[in-house]
Amino acid sequence: MRLPTLLFAAVLFGVAANVNAQRAVDPPESIGEIEVVDQAAEQLIDPSATIEVLATDFEWSEGPVWLRDQGCVLFSDIPRNSIFKWKEGEGLSLYLKPSGYTGETPRGGEPGSNGLMIDAQGRLVMCQHGDAQVARMAAPLSAPRPVFEVIADKLDGKRLNSPNDLVIHSSGAIYFTDPPYGRLKAFNDKTRELDFQGVYRVSPEGELSLLTKELVAPNGIALSPDEQTLYVAQSNGERPIYMAYAVQADGSIDDGRVLLNVKHLGRRPGSPDGMAIDRDGNLFATGPGGVLIISPGGKHLATIRTGERIANCTFGGPDGRTLFMTSDMHLCRVRVKTAGLGF
């Protein structure tokens, strides 16, 4: 599908100054622990590293992204249809509302934005649950407004489910997942126009293509440092896996392989979800128990455990050695020895 040129302005809600029930935790509180599974993990994280809670009382925090120029992290609270901002020395503030649902009819469920990314032009790109699309904010990062440009919303004339997470290739192509978690009845929502959950690519020219529909619940997505491997997490209780797909010259993917199956961790809270990649290709992948540190070869090295379900994570800070984690109702961070991809 061609990239629509229509700009959609959402005027139903304004960005309020108050943060309602959400609050910064100042000074930060420490929680959890670092669980080392393989000693190789100690090259990536100190086993005694402190996990800090920076802000709390969100309904379901997700999709963190670091803004280098502003020195802050943005993240979604999906049920509250909002994006929040946290910055050292300034604390917590509401950044954008609405973030994922711009309709006039009030609705429940998880309508807000989910995964967030910054493209090469410095624009905020987001997966919008309620509007069932991938879009970019048509306003500067420094002056956010709920005005969105649609990137992808239909496949062959049929509405997407509820785009969940995304990653941007150096070419400008966007890869994203499309499970139905943002629909009012999720997998049982009878208003769905697609009968599968896909992984997609939007070309730099704006053409949408389906890469695979073989996963039951595709969720988090990431690219290896050389962009030759696309990782996709499946948040499925029967088959909680991280897949690795070889990226072809035309941007498509092969049939893939299971990088790691974490079914044996099933009693722990959480499921495979968002991921961040360090500069050496190690995966910091949310999953049962916390953030799993996984080698490029698929070996589970350690788990960063906060005691809560963790939805997503991103590297940030001045040196890229701080891992920010959206852990259920918390925004957390932990210092690591490695640095995020791109730092």
273 is catalytic: yes
- What residue numbers does the annotated binding site for substrate cover? 164
- Sign of torsion over alpha carbons 87, 331, 76, 314: positive
Catalytic residue among 273, 278, 280, 328: 273
Task: Report the alpha-carbon distance of residue 24 to residue 121 in Å, rounded.
Answer: 30
Q: Exposed/middle/buried for 42, CB within 10 Å: 0-12, 13-18, 19+? A: middle
**Both ends of the chain: CA-CA distance in Å?**
33
Amino acid at 242: Y
Tokens of 322: 């701080």
- What residue numbers does the annotated binding site for a divalent metal cation cover? 62, 219, 273
Query: What residues act catalytically?
Result: 273
